[in-house]
Structure 1
């Protein structure tokens, strides 16, 4: 088996993320496929490149030696692909490739971008992994990425990217059944949810660790469920679970949204791009879209009016 650039890129992704699961997400492939590919690479070389343990994957001495030679090759090929794509885009017409983690500001942002950039093909890719989006920006597959960073779990940002902060500390609210006793109050205490099952999506970067850190600090140890938030909404409406949610979430008949007392859960909202990208107008459109989404969400609007810390982009919410 001869090593190809795709194999070297996979090895770099495993080393950068320290996890086969996260590396597979970053590469857009399944974990079993990546595990099989790594096994074939190691078999062809006759030695292990990574040691696997409970804390993840770490390069062996041989792995570190190979990676030191592989990274310049991968970077060179990435630069070649980026430049070629840029030339192709100039020939076919302007394009803007946007990436984002889930946000209710996205529809308003895309509407504003298309109005600002008539004739530009504005594409969107939504991913639960902020790290995967940032790597795609660095590699030239995306022009800009709007991501969130869980408080206490900083993102590993590729070198060379520039950013703007949209919201330095966005509080995370709680989603619960309208019949839940805590829903009778405008603000919910963590202690009132100690006996509930908490639902969290472990594939969202930092979400699992951030929630566990906050619950531990509060001295409570509720049962935790793992699953995506689409599944969570059906369990929450039946009173089977509670889950953190964005403050821009709009309550429904079967779902109540409440702020948590003291705002223990929070994220930072960030916009990333490569240095040549004009970030300021993109940031201005995103800020206006976020303000629009915040104004539509009654619980968030009430939180702001009650003295919640208002960011500049929320001044008119």
Structure 2
């Protein structure tokens, strides 16, 4: 790996757009149907008479479960920015790897329906009036067609470069957004832990992920690094069972992150001026290479001479 690639992977950001998430809802729109209100038949362009449920909706609940899991996964790696999420380039391979795992889980849930697909429809149909049964038979999809409706796809991320010359202002905006999200995440974790006799060791994993997120953004503000360091010190003491002082220390740590006033004080006490050259290398990575800059939301298409990069992700899609 050449030096410029190492610099870019350490300090650059990728803009990850929201994944495309699709899948049949087991419904079909009824064309020409009329609505009935107080005995009156209603039709016309302003009337939506509804649809027929030909596949039991309770068997498709896994869709929203996986959708939410994917959204939480991406959010845990970065901060919201426009229609996407800013993710440190150094963590992009790891994010994509975990995304592919969730994507595989989604399609596995779909495939589990295949052996019982027709039976589920027939059981659902048998509970409907005869006229509705005929409609279900007319609109039900063959298995292959049904399966083909399910899709989760992540658009190719792009190297993030702000459309502004005020790089310091951009950095401050990212810092503010990150701290707001971290504070809300910490409060959510507190809400799940309060009132319990002890902390389940599994509950430490999302806290650790939150601390790692802080560390990833320390390049923009040293307070992020101190948040992460504080967790490392705390984590060394967290040997189960997590009760008593250990439990209180975890809640105290989250309490600081969840308190906007405490966060403001912490960040003020850890204030430092970010070097202009460093900001330029973060937000204008093309300045450290011979590659033309990639606009926000648009993947780079120009590839530099071949370099060896660990991981299975195609870094050439970033033009680096």
Q: Structure 1 length normalisation: TM-score?
A: 0.24
Which protein has the larger Cα radius of gyration, Structure 1 or Structure 2? Answer: 2
Structure with the higher fraction of residues in strand conformation? 1
Q: Structure 2 length normalisation: TM-score?
A: 0.24
